[in-house]
Amino acid sequence: MASINQIQDQIIEEFGVFDRWMEKYEYIIDLAKKMPLIDEQYKHDRYLVPGCQSRVWLHAELAGDKVSLTADSDAIITKGIIALLIRVLSDQPVEQISQADLYFIDAIGLKEHLSPTRSNGLVNMVAKIKSTADTLKRHH
């Protein structure tokens, strides 16, 4: 199993092949389309990530000492962004998720190419994943 940083490095490398942001957006949309669907039972308000312009549902469960994440969004770019976050953080140990430095976001230029509302949404998605991991750790 690759570590959080190894996965981030892979993502940075993948985005490095694109010269233009339009190509990066297309890649993000492609990731959204390939993302496994979240179970319909989790597409309810209690799974919504607060502070996102579009609706983002996030479900996390503990499998041993690792957190398994699934998500969905009604906006394709947002769904692609959450797909990247899940790729980096899902199936990782709880402690590593809550302490992760997600440097890939700045390294691929994601934050600077998002609208302020999407950028805030990204910050909120990261915060929700980390707080959910912490909650799972406390309850097990």
Catalogue the active-site residues. 52
- CA–CA gap between residue 39 and residue 61 (Å, rounded): 13
Tell me if 56 sits within 8 A of 48, measured CB to CB: yes
Q: Judging by beta carbons within 10 Å of its beta carbon (0-12, 13-18, 19+), is residue 40 exposed, middle or buried?
A: exposed
Token readout for 1 is: 């199993």
Q: Please identify which residue in the block is written with the tokens 């499998």.
A: 63
Give the pair of three-digit tokens for residue 102. Answer: 């997600």
| Closest residue by Cα to residue 85 from 55, 125, 56 | 125
